[in-house]
Structure formats: C-alpha cells, structure tokens
Amino acid sequence: MSYGTGNYDLAVKLLPEYLRCEVQLDMRLSAKAEEIRLRAGRKASVLVGESEVVTGSRCIDSADIERVAEIATEASVYSARESMKAGYITAKGGYRIGICGSAVVKNGEIEGFRELSSAAIRIPNEVIGAAGSVMRELTKNGRFESALIVSPPGAGKTTLLRDMVRVLSDGDDKLGLRGMRVALADERGEIACIYNGVPQRDIGARTDVLEGCSKAQAVMMLLRSMNPQLVALDEITAPEDICAIKSCANCGVKILATAHAEDMNDLASRPMYAELLESGFFKNAVFITKRNGRRIYTVEKTGR
Amino acid sequence: MIKIVGALLIICGTAAWGMSSVARMKNRVITLRSLITSLDIMRDEICVNLTPLPKVMELTGKAAPKPAGKFFRNVASKTDDIPQQGFFGIWMQALDDGCGMTLEEDERDVLIRLGSGLGKYDCDSQGRVIMTAKKSLERIEERAEKDKNANSKLHAFLGIAAGMMAVVVLI
C-alpha cells in the first residue's frame, strides 16, 4: 500500500486504521493531495488540485467521522471544544480538520456538534523558498513594506505567509533585509504548528507565536508583550481583526496578513477590505492564482 | 506422624484460604481509595488545565497511589493505540490487565461507565462524569470498609475452623 510521502502520510494517520485503506493514492497523486474528504453516506475522497478523486470502496458513517475527531483531539474533545464551536479541530502537526454536523445551540450560541456528517482534513504545505520572488518585489532598499496576501480559499495563502514570515524573521543578505522580530498570531495553529511548545514548521529564528486565541486578542497581546517589528496574521475575517491591524499601524509595526478575494476589484468591492485599502495600512497586495496546477504570485500597489 | 503432617497441611490450607479472603477485602478498600484519589487528580487536569487525555493518564499515573497509579500508567502506555482501538478500547484492555487492582463487579461497572464517558463532551460534562464515578466509588468504598470490619475476623476464623473440622472428620 502506498500513500505517497510526507504530509499526506501523516494526514492519513489521522484516520482510524480500518479507514486508511479507503484513501489510497499513488505517489504522484498523493504528493499533490490538498484535502481528504469524508462525508456520511458517501465514499471517501481526496481533493487533488481542482478535482475530487473518489478513493473509497464503502460508505462512511457518522461514527467513522467521530473516530477521526477522537484521534485528532487525542481522545480529548473537551480540549478542542472552542475550535469545534467554530467548526474545526487542529490536530498535531498543524492539520486542520473542518467538521460539519448537527449544531447544538444553547442561548443562541453554538455549543458544539453532534452526529458529525462531514470532515475535511486539510494537508498543510511547507514550501521553503515559496516567498523568494515575492520578497524581492516587496523589499525596497532593505525595507519591507506591509503586505496583504490575497487569494480564493485553497490557493496557498498560508503557505506563502509562512515562508514570508521565515524570510522576514531570519533576514536575507541578498535582499539586504535584516532579520526582524516577528509576532505571529496563529489562531488555528496551522502556520507554526506548535507541538510541546516547539514550532514544527520553519518560521524563522526571531518569531514569537501566540496560538489558540482570536487574532484580534493575540495581536493586542503580542503588541503589548513582545515588542514586535512585524505582526503576521492569517485570514482577516472580522471587524475586530481590522481594529487590531489599525493598532499595529498606529504603533509603527509592519503588518503581513491574508484575506479571501479573487482580485483587486473583488477585494475593493468588500466593505471591510475596502476600508483597509483606503486606510493605506498595506502598501502592497500579493495575489495568488493557480494555473495548470502552478501558483502564480502577482504583486500590486494598493493605491496609496 | 503422617497424620499430623496431613492435618497441619489441611489446617494451613484452609487458614490460607481464610487469610486470602481477608487480604482481598483489605486490598479492595485500598484499591477503591486509590481510585477515588486518582479521580480528583484527573478532574483537576481535565477541567482546570484542559490537558489532553494521554497526558492526563500519565500525570495521574505518576501522582496517584498504588494500585490505581499502575492502572493509569498502563492506560497511558497504550495511548498510541487510540487510532486502532479508540480510548475506550485501551481503557478496557487496561482494566482487563488488572494492574494489581482488586475489583468487584460493582466498581468495575463504575470504571467501565467512566471510561466510556472520558474524552467526550465539554469540560463541565467531563467534570460531571468524573464526579458521578467518584460518588459511586465512595459509596462502594463505604460498604467495602464496613464489610471488611465486620467479616475479616470471621473469615480468618472460618478458615482455621474449617481446616480443624476437616481434620476431625478425616481422623
């Protein structure tokens, strides 16, 4: 049996043993796999590039998905309760598992899920050097300007963010860039993938990570406690995140963040992001597009 | 001479049976007390520190008195098998191993119910599951203690008396 190598292998280990044969892929496909999908009443499938390949031979049931949650939380669902309320679990190694089911609502708030119906295991990619060409464009005279990484979901924002954090933290002699104190607000724990306090991904020598709490809270705490030169955060999605970014800008701290959008027009058409563009906090936007399975990075000035 | 040796062997045998019965009663109480202490440690780790179960088992195993400590260390040593058997599977396996615990049907049932509830739900529910188990074990321990005080001397006496009776009948 072959599951390919590296991250896919480890993602498969999040399945109960009897389910592992349901997601068999050859080495070539497993290297490109982005997600393992389990849906109750359907066969298991794997997202490879743009298409979902059905790999299973039998239908998955809710108990199978609950076993995945059990393995991902090390049989400690209570310790992942807060993230489960938000619909995901972060497993050891930074694997994020999106979950769906019947929501249990109490006083208008989601308490958790019962009868789990779907699970999507995202396979993180660490591509050392992914930020090379982008960093050349974003660095002028050895200075880095705040940047917003923009793409639709699944295009590689987090991968690029991680590598940019690494370069900014370590510095780059070729670019004349000195290493900066980077503070990383890693709400879902999928950038640094901390295990036993040690980052499992290379995020640079001068990076301090705060994970497991909301980005807005983390940014404010990092600003107060770690004296950063740059704050990095993934997926700006809420008005509180924008407030936190404003605080960074007001403190003279550079910002590196990601957002969901197709292109500049799409970004500008969303009121929350339009405010960000207007404010001029981000001098540059990096757009990621996928063509023939390859990622293309385009840097654009944000206008101010 | 042979008769005397035979008689002594019979008396020693039945006395040993009586003493082992007394020892079992004593060990049962010790087991129950150590389990009750373990549950307090476990509840603090789960409800206060949100420690994942494998680590909870390891810490409880280190901190709890014997023989419950050995049981929790045994569970902790099997947590790599969670993907194969699930937590409840390894809990049951450790329970079957015994780990030096003296368990009767009642407390075994309590531990099975506890194992089936551990790791699931939120912290409040975990706290309730553990507290329910603790209260049940406390009730059983109270009964077992009374049982031990009331019957241990009787069992020891019965062991020796049964042996002497057998010797009288046989001679």
Q: Residue ranges of the domains in chain A?
A: 6-122, 132-301
Mean pLDDT of chain A: 88
Higher pLDDT, A207 or A153: A207
pLDDT confidence of residue B132: 95
Higher pLDDT, A63 or B11: A63
pLDDT confidence of residue A2: 36
CA A291 – CA A299 distance, rounded (Å): 16
pLDDT tier for residue B69 given thresholds of 50, 70 and 90: very high
Q: Which residue has the tokens 């780059």?
A: A172
What does the block give as tokens for B69? 């400590």
pLDDT tops 50 at residue A193:
yes
Q: What are phi and psi of A268, to 5 degrees?
A: -70, -20
Pairwise CB contact (< 8 Å): B50 & A78: yes
Q: Which residues contact A160 (CB under 8 A, 6 or more apart)?
A: A130, A131, A134, A149, A286, A288, A297
CA A218 – CA B36 distance, rounded (Å): 39
User: CA of A74, closest CA in chain B: separation in Å?
Assistant: 7
CB atoms within 10 A of CB B41: 19
pLDDT confidence of residue A231: 95
Bridge partners for A104 per DSSP:
A112
pLDDT confidence of residue A275: 82
Average pLDDT of the segment spanning A273-299 = 86
User: CA of B122, closest CA in chain A: separation in Å?
Assistant: 4
pLDDT tops 60 at residue A273:
yes
pLDDT tops 70 at residue A195:
yes
pLDDT tier for residue A64 given thresholds of 50, 70 and 90: very high
Average pLDDT of the segment spanning A13-26 = 90
CA B85 – CA B91 distance, rounded (Å): 10
Q: Which CATH number fits domain A6-122: 3.30.1300, 1.10.132, 3.30.450, 3.40.50?
A: 3.30.450
pLDDT confidence of residue A51: 86
A contacts of B49 (beta carbons < 8 Å): none
Average pLDDT of the segment spanning B80-105 = 90
Average pLDDT of the segment spanning A160-178 = 93
pLDDT confidence of residue B108: 94
pLDDT confidence of residue A303: 65
pLDDT confidence of residue A105: 84
pLDDT tier for residue A12 given thresholds of 50, 70 and 90: very high
Pairwise CB contact (< 8 Å): A79 & B125: no
Q: Residue ranges of the domains in chain B?
A: 31-150
Q: What are phi and psi of A145, to 5 degrees?
A: -100, 145
B114 reaches A (C-beta below 8 A): no
Pairwise CB contact (< 8 Å): A73 & B118: no
pLDDT tops 90 at residue A229:
yes
In this complex, the residue of B54, B83, B119 whose CB is nearest that of residue A13 is B83
CA A48 – CA A268 distance, rounded (Å): 31
B contacts of A76 (beta carbons < 8 Å): 50-54, 56, 119
Q: Which of A12, A15, A67, A79 to mutate to test the interface with B (most CBs of B within 10 A)?
A: A79
B86 reaches A (C-beta below 8 A): yes
Pairwise CB contact (< 8 Å): A75 & B53: yes
A144 closest CA partner among A271, A283, A1, A51: A283
Report the half-sphere exposure of A73 (CA within 13 A, side-chain side). Answer: 29
CA B148 – CA B31 distance, rounded (Å): 13
Q: Which CATH number fits domain A132-301: 3.40.190.10, 3.40.50.300, 1.20.140.90, 3.30.110.30?
A: 3.40.50.300
pLDDT tops 90 at residue B98:
no
In this complex, the residue of B50, B51, B119 whose CB is nearest that of residue A70 is B119
For the stretch A99-147, pLDDT in tens is 999 888 888 888 778 889 999 998 877 788 888 889 998 988 888 989 9
Pairwise CB contact (< 8 Å): B121 & A78: yes
SS (H, E, C) A41-90: CCEEEEEECCEEEEEEEEEECHHHHHHHHHHHCCCCHHHHHHHHHCCEEE
B120 reaches A (C-beta below 8 A): yes
Cis? peptide before A16, omega within 30° of 0: no
B50 reaches A (C-beta below 8 A): yes
